Chains A and B, each alone.
Chain A
Amino acid sequence: MHLLGKYGARVVALVLVAGLASAALARLAPGAAADERELDPRLSAETVAAMRANEEASHNLGRFLLHYARGLAHFQLGFSQSQNAPVRELIAERGVTTIRELGIALAAALAIGAAFAIPAARFRAARVYDASCAILAGVFLSVPAALLAYVCLVLGGSATLVLALVLTPRVFLFSRNLLAQAYGATHVQMAMARGVDEFRILLFYVLAPAAGAMLAMAAATATIGVGASIPIEAICDTAGLGRLAWQAAMARDLPLLVNLTMIVALATTLAMALAEFFAPREAIA
């Protein structure tokens, strides 16, 4: 209970500070109160002056935070000028896409990564197989997510596929090392010597003890996926939270930026907290 309270307080504090910091960043960045509609040649000087005054007023940081806090009490998250829609609706719609995308990509990465890692960990003598997998993983790790997204786009792939390609090598490399250590443990060697079935060894002697670390890895991988989703969705033009974040940054859309930062902060800290909970402290910092 105490642990839950401690983690909970930390998550809440982090989310609030992240929101505040992103609001400050957005407001202080050049162009925060500028609107490209001002360049409309039809506008008279009076109208432009009035628009600028409105923009300055709506971008006052203190006023925004007060208004936002009041709205939050009624579950209102503000209105996005760049998307011309309430932030709550936008996040609800786009969140579903991103969660689905991340969920499928993470599941695929875990399944494929583990599937390749198990033989590499079990049969350490199969150097060719191990080296080939490591090289393939290395190749995918070495290509920027944005470039992978572009190539997949041209070949007809989706953002989910790109995310899976970004996450799978990481899962493979970590799983391989973890499972190799597990296979090297004395009790596993003993079980093999006694002729215990391979499948049983894998399930009860290797995966079971490593489950905590694997879950921690899954949580940490999810945070990587969240970060990678921004350039991937921006390039693949998927209507998810990543693309929304990119559009919000480009348009200096304060309400959207603050809310999205808080969501990312929440997801990241929950994942970190899960990782710390599942894994020994020394293994995962």
Chain B
Amino acid sequence: MKAWLLLLALTVASAQDELRFALHDEPKSLDPFLVADEPAEAIRYLTEGVLIRINRLSQQPEPELAQSWKISSDARHITFQLRSGLRFPDGSAFTSADVVATFEKLFDPALHSPVADTFRSEKGWPTVMALNPLSVRMDFPAPTGSMERLFDQVSIVSARAAQRPAPGLGPYVIAEHVPGVRFVLQRNPAAPRQPRIASVRIDIEQNRDLELVRFRRGEIDLIDKLTPDLFDRLNTELPGNAVDAGPTLDFEFLWFNMAQQAPLPDYKKAWFRSVAFRRAVSDAINRADLCRVVYRGHATPATGPISPANKLWYAPAPAPVFDPAAALKSLATEGFSNRGGTLRDARGNVVEFSILTNAGSKTRERMATMIQQDLAKLGIRVNVVTLDFPALIERITRSLNYEAALLGFVNIDSDPSALMNVLLSSAANHPWNPSEKSPATEWEAEIDKLMLAQAESADPRLRRKQFDRVQRILREQLPMICLLHPNALAAISARLDGVKPAASFPHTFWNFDSIAIRGLAPRNSSGTLRQ
């Protein structure tokens, strides 16, 4: 009897010493080099060790597997001093050979790793060499600004690992994985930063209503990203548990298809290429209403792609304009006229276009509907088209058979180089005109020059000046009509201590070494780094 009671007590205790939350989808890949979606990034963040980790709150780099690092004055070399005494779960010592092997595998061109691409420049790949068992140097072919931030995404794997994922030096290891159902992670004794909670249970829960129901029942401790509706509902029922951490680094934006090869009538292409037209559309959109009505006040109107939460790179700018009268005047200068409530261009074509967005996102559908109403006041007819994601991607990246689109951009890193493959005119993800052979406009050529220059600059002040100029061009030319920055809305159980919601992903569990269960004595030292 006593044995059963002890077993029961231990079971209850271990269930208590467990952090529980949900992901909205099954990770597409558990290979840390191929992580490209949020669920996969969540698992990677909790199970893989990195040389440098970006503190999501301060947005500053912090040492993890690397004890320290030194960047050369020409920003071409970085030397790491690795932590000594660390061993992988298989017992082998962590040395520079593991770091070298990691990067050799990562930089394999056949792998097509998105993480690897952040290291690549036009001049080629960096090289890595071990200086001694605890020292590694990486040499870049060209100066690379803020290079230390790149290492936050690189999971260091053992040189002896036969496959990926393999137990590494992250805070947890995967103890159980039922595809589409759950993950169970256990504390990794080999990790230098020990989490305070022994295990993590992550359910795959697509239905957000159900997720909230489970949170209210106490079956889940955290919801990393709440929708505005559910946030307000939770805030009414359990005010202390709903946390608005302020603007994220993300932004929602609308853009017009300016690709030359787009299968659109020439007169429509002419509209979309006209900065006066884009400005008029931007001025006619009531961003304050979008924030207040769609996001229930949990968003900030945007003037550009950089969020006010980005302490390092945000450049204060005049508040976004809402001036339909000015919009009409701007259109009049281009020959547009409003006759009988319908806007027509100089040739008499009715101004009508469609806005494409993804089905299933209520916030985007509502924003598109509000924009439809705002532009109706100018006499512009807007059709809101919601498509499932694959069909949407096919249109905006391959066939280019669309007129305008409304999507969001998720920024994991605050550095402007994270926007390189969006702002460079030759990039495949350059939204308004992908994969340009040469910049179609002077301002795009200037953005290309400035973005490449800031990426290769070692001088933070010069980088700042160059990127400020990029932001100014974006505000003048409006190839992306930035609408708002959503806030980080989280649900945090009263059972937890030490959760500090941050602006970038993962918003709530980034500081795994500080989060604890209230009332439970820590099993070992509270998250300090091992020497």
Q: Which of B179, B387, B397 has the most CB of A within 10 A?
A: B179
Q: Which residues of A contact B418 (CB under 8 A)?
A: 41-42
Min distance, Cβ B373 to any Cβ of chain A, angstroms: 28
Please, which residues of chain B bring their CB within 8 A of the CB of A247?
A: 180
Are the CB atoms of A36 and B389 closer together than 8 Å?
yes
* A41/B429 in contact, CB under 8 A: yes
Q: Is the beta-carbon distance between B180 and A244 smaller than 8 angstroms?
A: yes
A31 near B390 with CB under 8 A, answer yes
Q: Once the chains bind, are A35 and B393 in contact (CB under 8 Å)?
A: yes
Task: Tell me if B207 and A237 are in contact (CB < 8 A).
Answer: yes
A45 near B435 with CB under 8 A, answer yes
Check if B207 sits within 8 Å of A36, measured CB to CB. no
Contacts of A35 in B (CB 8 A): 390, 393
Q: Are B179 and A30 in contact, CB atoms less than 8 angstroms apart?
A: no
- Asked if A50 CB lies within 8 Å of chain B CBs, one says yes
A207 within 8 A of B: no
Question: Is the CB of A22 closer than 8 A to any CB of chain B?
Answer: no
Quick one: closest B residue to A244, CB to CB? B180
Q: Is B209 an interface residue (CB 8 A)?
A: yes
B229 at the interface (CB under 8 A from A): no
- Judged by a CB distance under 8 angstroms, whether B419 is at the interface is yes
| Interface flag for B238 (CB, 8 Å) | no
B112 contacts the other chain (CB 8 A): yes
Give the distance in Å from the alpha carbon of A150 to the alpha carbon of B426 in the complex.
46
Residue from the list A44, A51, A237 in contact with B206, Cβ < 8 A: A237
| A235→B209 CA distance, assembly (Å) | 9
Q: In the assembled complex, how far is the CB of residue B50 from the closest CB belonging to chain A, in whole angstroms? A: 16
> Are A82 and B179 touching (Cβ within 8 A)?
no
Q: Pick from A36, A41, A82: contact of B422, CB below 8 A.
A: A41
A130: interface (CB < 8 Å): no
**Which among A34, A45, A81, A156 is the interface contact of B428 at CB below 8 angstroms?**
A45
CB <8 Å contact, A237 and B390: no
Contacting A at CB under 8 A, from B462-515, are none
Interface contact B397-A83, CB-CB below 8 Å: no
Taken residue by residue from 141 to 170, chain A's Cβ proximity to chain B (1 for < 8 Å, 0 otherwise) reads as: 000000000100110100000000000000
Q: Report B433 CB to chain A, min CB distance, Å.
A: 13
Contact of A38 among B27, B113, B180, B393 (CB under 8 A): B393
A98 to chain B, nearest CB (A): 13
Q: Which residues of chain A come closer than 8 Å to B37, judged between CB atoms?
A: 36-37
User: What's the least CB distance linking A86 to chain B, in Å?
Assistant: 9
Determine whether the beta carbon of B397 is less than 8 Å from that of A38: yes
Interface string of B396-416 (1 = CB under 8 A from A): 011000000000010000000
B118 surroundings in chain A (CB, below 8 A): 42
A153-B213, A239-B181 known; A38 vs B390 contact (CB < 8 Å)? no
B429 adjacent to A48 (CB under 8 Å) = yes
- CA separation between A250 and B360, bound complex, in Å? 11
What is the minimal beta-carbon distance from B248 to any residue of chain A, in angstroms? Answer: 15
Q: A39-B429, A84-B26 are in contact. Are A93 and B178 (CB under 8 A)?
A: yes
* Interface pair B429/A31, CB less than 8 Å apart: no
CA distance in complex: A182, B428 (Å): 70
Q: Give the CA-CA distance A54 to B52 in the complex, in Å.
A: 33
**Interface presence of B386 (CB below 8 A):** no
Distance in angstroms from A159 CB to nearest chain B CB is 11
In the bound complex, do residue B179 and residue A37 qualify as a contact, i.e. CB atoms below 8 Å apart?
Answer: no
Contact of A50 among B30, B112, B179, B206 (CB under 8 A): B112
* Interface range on chain B (Cβ under 8 Å from partner): 35 or more
B115 contacts the other chain (CB 8 A): yes
Contact A41 B409, beta carbon cutoff 8 Å: yes
Nearest opposing residue in chain A for B208, CB measure: A237
- The answer to the question of A29 belonging to the interface, with a C-beta cut-off of 8 Å to chain B, is yes
A30 to B401, CA, bound (A): 12
- Cβ < 8 Å to B, chain A residues 64-116: 81-85, 89-90, 93-94
Q: Is the CB of B179 within 8 A of A84?
A: yes
B388 contacts partner chain A, Cβ-Cβ < 8 Å: yes
**Proximity bits, B176-207, A CB within 8 Å = 1, else 0:** 00111100000000000000000000001111
Q: Which residue of A34, A234, A243 contacts B397 across the interface (Cβ within 8 Å)?
A: A34
Docked complex Cα distance between A32 and B181 (Å): 25
B503 to chain A, nearest CB (A): 17
CB <8 Å contact, A34 and B393: yes
A83 and B180 contacting across the interface, CB-CB below 8 Å: yes
> What is the chain B residue whose CB lies nearest that of A235?
B207
Q: Is B226 an interface residue (CB 8 A)?
A: no
Q: Nearest chain A CB to B155's CB is how many angstroms away?
A: 15
Q: Is A197 positioned at the interface, with any CB of B under 8 Å from its CB? A: no
Supposing A39-B429, A45-B426 touch, asked if A236 and B210 sit within 8 A by C-beta, the answer is: yes
Q: Are B388 and A250 in contact (CB under 8 A)?
A: yes
Which listed residue, A52, A83, A153, A236, touches B179 by the CB 8 Å rule?
A83
B392 interface contact, C-beta 8 A: yes
Which among A32, A45, A235, A236 is the interface contact of B390 at CB below 8 angstroms? Answer: A32
* A36 in contact with B393 given A41-B418, A236-B207 (CB within 8 Å): yes
- Is A43 located at the chain interface by the 8 A CB criterion? yes
A31 contacts B391, C-beta separation under 8 Å = yes
Minimal Cβ-Cβ distance residue in A for B427: A45
Query: In chain B between 361 and 410, which residues have their CB closer than 8 angstroms to a CB of chain A?
Result: 387-395, 397-398, 409
The answer to whether A196 has its CB under 8 Å from any CB of chain B is: no
B206 and A40 form a contact (CB under 8 A)? no
Cβ contacts under 8 Å, B292 to chain A: none
Decide yes or no whether B67 CB sits under 8 A from chain A. Answer: no
Residue B421 lies at the interface, judged by CB distance under 8 Å to chain A: yes
* Contacting residues of chain A (12-42) with chain B, CB-CB under 8 angstroms: 29-42
* CB <8 Å contact, A34 and B398: yes
> In the complex the two chains form, is A85's CB within 8 Å of B180's CB?
yes
Flag if B120 contacts A44 (CB, 8 Å).
yes
Q: Contact between A237 and B210 (Cβ–Cβ < 8 Å)?
A: yes
A236 vs B213: C-alpha distance when bound (angstroms): 12
Within 8 A of A (CB), among B237-293: none
Within the complex, the shortest CB–CB distance from A202 to chain B, in Å, comes to 43
Residue B29 at the chain A interface, CB threshold 8 Å: yes
Find out whether the CB atom of B205 lies under 8 angstroms from the CB atom of A37: no
Q: Does A176 contact B (CB under 8 A)?
A: no
Given A44-B120, A45-B435, A83 and B26 contact (CB-CB distance below 8 Å): yes
Chain A residues with CB under 8 A of B112: 43, 47, 50-51
Given A43-B114, A45-B435, the answer on whether A90 and B179 have CB atoms closer than 8 Å is yes
Nearest A residue to B393 by beta-carbon distance?
A34
A141 CB to nearest B CB, Å: 25
The answer, yes or no, to whether B329 is at the interface (CB within 8 Å) is no
How distant is the Cα of A234 from the Cα of B394 in the complex, in angstroms?
25
**Shortest distance from the beta carbon of B424 to any chain A beta carbon, whole Å:** 9
Q: Does A245 touch B at the CB level, under 8 Å?
A: no
How many whole Å from B408's CB to the nearest CB in chain A?
10
A102–B173 CA distance with the chains assembled, in angstroms: 36
What are 7 residue pairs bridging A and B, where the CB atoms are less than 8 Å apart in the complex? A31-B390, A34-B393, A42-B118, A44-B117, A48-B429, A153-B209, A236-B207
User: A31-B391, A41-B422, A93-B179 provided; 16 other pairs, C-beta below 8 A?
Assistant: A30-B394, A33-B394, A35-B393, A36-B393, A39-B393, A41-B409, A41-B429, A42-B114, A42-B117, A43-B114, A44-B427, A45-B427, A49-B428, A84-B179, A154-B209, A251-B390
- B interface residues, Cβ below 8 angstroms from A: 26-30, 36-37, 112-115, 117-118, 120, 178-181, 204-207, 209-210, 213, 387-395, 397-398, 409, 418-422, 426-429, 435
Closest 10 CB pairs of A and B: A31-B390, A85-B179, A48-B428, A31-B391, A34-B393, A237-B207, A31-B394, A37-B36, A42-B114, A44-B117
